[in-house]
Structure 1
Amino acid sequence: MVNETEIYQYIRGALRPKRYTHTLGVLETAESLCEIYGCDKYKTRIAALLHDCAKNMSDDELIKITKENNLIEVDETIKHSPMLLHGFVGAYIAGEKFNINDVDIINSIKYHTTGRPNMSILEKIIYVSDGIEPSRKFEGVDDIREVAIKDLDKALLMMYNQTIKYIISKNQLLYPKTIEARNYLLIK
């Protein structure tokens, strides 16, 4: 088992105070959803704590680690929004630094920003918790919080919609996996 004290020390040093507070909010929210949806508590804690462990890295660092370790193709969308890589790099850090090799934990960290089709319960919990934790303030967040405790897939779809609307409002490129993930939920 992973030493949670080491994880706390690592993220406290790697994250700015606001991001560390956000991480603790994701942990709190994920633990609540874990209780409702019967997910593994240990996996939930580890994934929540490490989901943003690479968030405060520079764009150049994220791209460098991604390319050196062949984590994912750095395509045009990634080049325009390198911060999308923080989940992939975070999953890499979880494996390399903390010897985490549980696929569900790794994928929950990896896809907590982009989503993907056919996510596990843990992946959905981390993705939704990242969007609705207590410090998040955006129009409609309370509606998603209410839905999350009743229907995780519906809350996930609402989060995808929110994310896509936000990206369009900023005139940024949409990440294809997010669109695929949304379409998957609608088709299933």
Structure 2
Amino acid sequence: MGTIDQEYLQASIEQFLSEANCLKTYAHCIAVGDYAYKLAEQFMADPHKAQIAGYLHDISAVYPDDQRVEIANKMGIALYKEEIVLPMIIHQRMSKEIAISQFNINDSEILSAIECHTTLKGNYSILDLVVFIADKIKWDQDGEPPYITGLMAALDHSLESAAYYYIDYLLHHGIQVTHPWLNEAYVKLKQQLEPA
């Protein structure tokens, strides 16, 4: 991967999101990227990839939920029925497309982490896990996430434990739809974490 200028990238993201009146999303993206970098330092050779993926993960906030099915179709994204029922979750896949088209990101690992930051997926990488967890810790709502204590305790064990804890929490607290990728990740994590 060619070196990406972090300051230039931040400034470009800020401009892109501010033009759509999404500065709250910009603050969230930077918080997730910076936290992902710190987390990745413990688990990865190149924490900058986690930072870049975090900075760009919610870049599709420029499109409101009621436009996402139409825009995703124009982008050539083949939608799952769960994404049509709950268009909010399309944003992870749209963010990947915007990272490619608007920000010239072509690193497949970074793009994968952006694409599955909300749901994770069955064939996840360490980078996918890092960005997924960073997004849940630095969530975009007010106050503390209701699951944060358990998630942080699980993170003391491993990235996989933290991801499993979060998905298990979701599945037992009225999740609106279960995306196929989320289910695949849950099954794989459970297999990995079960004692042999």
C-alpha separation in 2, matches of 1:13 and 1:147: 38
Map of 2:32 onto structure 1: 26
The TM-score normalised by the length of structure 2 is 0.83
SS of 1:54's equivalent?
Answer: helix
SS of 1:112's equivalent?
Answer: coil
Q: Percent identity?
A: 27
Q: Which structure 2 residue ranges, 5 or more long, are not aligned?
A: none
Instruction: List per-residue Cα deviations over 1:56-80 (Å, max 9, x = no partner).
Output: 42224321221122212242x1121
C-alpha separation in 2, matches of 1:145 and 1:14: 33
Residue 10 of structure 1 pairs with residue 5 of structure 2: no
Output the aligned Cα RMSD.
Answer: 2.1
C-alpha separation in 2, matches of 1:44 and 1:105: 7
SS of 2:99's equivalent?
Answer: helix
Instruction: List per-residue Cα deviations over 1:4-23 (Å, max 9, x = no partner).
Output: 13233323444633322222
Instruction: List per-residue Cα deviations over 1:28-73 (Å, max 9, x = no partner).
Output: 3211101111241221121000001113422243212211222122
Number of positions where the alignment pairs a residue of Structure 1 with one of Structure 2: 184
Q: Higher RCO, 1 or 2 (CA under 8 Å, sep at least 6)?
A: 1
Q: Which structure 1 residue ranges, 5 or more long, are not aligned?
A: none
Instruction: Tell whether the 8 Å contact from 1:8 to 1:49 is kept in structure 2 after alignment.
Output: no
| Equivalent of 1:36 in 36, 42, 49 | 42
The TM-score normalised by the length of structure 1 is 0.87
SS of 2:61's equivalent?
Answer: coil
Map of 2:190 onto structure 1: 186
Change (3 A) 1:152 1:136: farther
> 1:118 Cα shift?
2.3
Residue 101 of structure 1 pairs with residue 89 of structure 2: no
